Structures are given as C-alpha cells and as structure tokens.
C-alpha cells in the first residue's frame, strides 16, 4: 500500500493495486470510504463533481424551502438559489484543492461520497444542512508547505466567492436588472460562502485549517480573521444593503 494525503477526509489514505481507499477514525470507529480506481476509466471528475453539485443543491434547497413546501412554487426558486450558491461553493472549493495539487505535480481527482450525500438529503427534511459531498485525494505531495497551500485555497476560494456575490448586487443595480431573485442570491451567497470558508478553517481533524496551521501560523490567523469578519459582519441583509449603497456612492458619486 502507498500512503498519500487526502485534502478533505482523512489525513492519511492508502492505495493497493491502484485502488484508492479512505480510512478515517471518528470517535473510535474506523470508516472505510468507497474505493476509486486511480486514473482508471471508471473515474470521471466531471461526473463526480456533478453528483456533488446536484446532491448539495437539492439538500440545501429543501432546507431553504422547508419540507412542508416542497410541492409549492418556492422550491423552484430555492433550487436556483441553492445551485448557484451552495452547489457552486462546494464545487469551486474542491476544484481549488485539485488544481493546486496538480500544479505541484500531484495526481489529484475528486470523488463524490454517495453515503454522505444521501445522509445530507435525509437530514435536510428535518431542517438540518450537513454537507460532505466528497473529497479531493492526491498523491505525490508530502511536505507541510505545499500541503498547506493545497488546503488553504479551499477556504480562500469560498471567501472570494463571497466577495463576488457582494459585488454582484450593485452591478445589477447599475444595469437595472430585476432585484428580487438576485437579492436573495446575493444575501445567501455572501453568508453561505463566508461561513463555509470559516468552517473549513477549524484547526483540527480532517479540516483544511489543520494543514494551513501546520504550514504557517501567520497565514492561518490572518485567514481566520478575514473569514470571521466576513461571516459575522456581512452575513446580514441590512449590512449588505449598507455596503452596496456605499459601493455605489463611491463609484458613481451618488449621494
């Protein structure tokens, strides 16, 4: 077996005869995640990412709408908001891990976890959203600096998405687009991605924060400060409206 590092679930994974397997210890129990053939014809990153996108989109839409309103017109809007905000947030996060790992010469692929996606869908009917749609696994990178870089770009990508949603509303205002749906997308997008970035910076277990902290304490602290400020300061509609108003006034001299 060849040990390698997994970006999300499990710090050390193993491959045997080209088959990738996750082993994770959780409260004394060892969990074995589904095997994935390394670089084999059975694996397709696009298909795996599509599974993760679809699963998280539906689960978050159910939470946004409420199980009692699934047959109402609200679910259509919730699915659209969720696909843009939640699905995009997770996929961009995972792609950031994968692309940086590949830049360092590692073999890196994303594998969806159908059991966790199924659990997420079940819990969404109770109003609870939990998402572990899969993981990027890679071989060929073992030093703390590069592992820290690979881990760091995940939360940072979510913070950048949060800023993108922050800037989207005033741009739409300037070109006079319809606000109703866009407003909800912006509000949910800013808050969701800021919290997702902050959550992944937990400095322990399989979270990205553990690897970032092992690489650089200053970088870890600075990223947590920025993520915390965005999560606690911007994840409210009244604050966003004030920020959007300030951006428009500064950019166009509107009083």
pTM: 0.75
Options 48, 94, 113, 208, the catalytic residue: 94
Mean pLDDT for 126-143 is 81
The secondary structure of the chain as a DSSP string is -EEEEESSS-S-EEEETTEEE-EEEETTEEEEPPPEETT-TT--HHHHHHHHHHHHHHHHHHHHH-GGGTTSTHHHHHHHHHIIIIIHHHHHHHHHHHHHHHHTT-EEEEEE-HHHHHHHHHHHTTT------EEEEEES--SHHHHHHHHHHHHHHHHHHHHHHHHHHHHHHHTT---HHHHHHHHHHHHHHHHHHHHTT-SSTTSHHHHHHHH-HHHHHHHHHHHHHHHHHSSSHHHHHHHHHHHHHHHH---
Asked whether residue 245 carries a pLDDT value surpassing 90, the answer given is no
pLDDT the model gives residue 62: 92
**Bridge partner residues of 21 (DSSP):** 14
Torsion-angle region of 14 (φ positive above 0: left; ψ -120 to 50: alpha; else: beta): beta
Tens of pLDDT, residues 97-125: 999 999 988 888 888 888 888 898 899 99
Identify whether 48 is a catalytic site residue.
Answer: no
Mean pLDDT for 158-174 is 84
Mean pLDDT of the chain: 78
**Bridge partner residues of 5 (DSSP):** 138
Tens of pLDDT, residues 214-235: 999 999 999 999 999 998 887 6
Up-side HSE of residue 233: CA atoms within 13 Å toward CB? 10
């Amino acid at each position: 077996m060849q040990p390698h590092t997994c970006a999300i679930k499990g710090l050390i994974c193993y491959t045997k005869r080209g088959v990738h397997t996750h082993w994770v210890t959780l409260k004394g129990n060892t969990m074995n995640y589904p095997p994935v053939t390394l670089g084999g014809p059975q694996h397709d990153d696009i298909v795996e990412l599509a599974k993760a996108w679809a699963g998280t989109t539906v689960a978050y839409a159910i939470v946004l709408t409420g199980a009692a309103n699934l047959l109402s017109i609200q679910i259509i809007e919730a699915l659209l908001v969720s696909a843009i905000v939640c699905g995009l947030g997770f996929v961009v996060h995972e792609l950031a891990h994968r692309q940086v790992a590949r830049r360092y010469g590692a073999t890196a692929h994303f594998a969806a976890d159908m059991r966790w996606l199924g659990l997420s869908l079940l819990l969404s009917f109770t109003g609870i959203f939990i998402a572990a749609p899969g993981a990027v696994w890679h071989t060929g990178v073992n030093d703390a600096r590069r592992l820290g870089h690979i881990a760091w770009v995940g939360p940072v990508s979510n913070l950048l998405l949060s800023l993108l949603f922050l800037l989207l509303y005033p741009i739409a205002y300037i070109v006079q687009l319809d606000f109703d749906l866009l407003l909800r997308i912006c509000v949910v997008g800013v808050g969701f991605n800021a919290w997702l970035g902050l959550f992944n910076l937990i400095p322990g277990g399989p979270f990205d924060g553990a690897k970032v902290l092992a690489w650089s304490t200053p970088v870890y602290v600075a990223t947590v400060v920025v993520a915390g400020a965005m999560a606690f300061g911007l994840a409210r509609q009244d604050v966003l409206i004030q920020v959007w108003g300030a951006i428009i006034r500064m950019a166009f001299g509107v009083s």
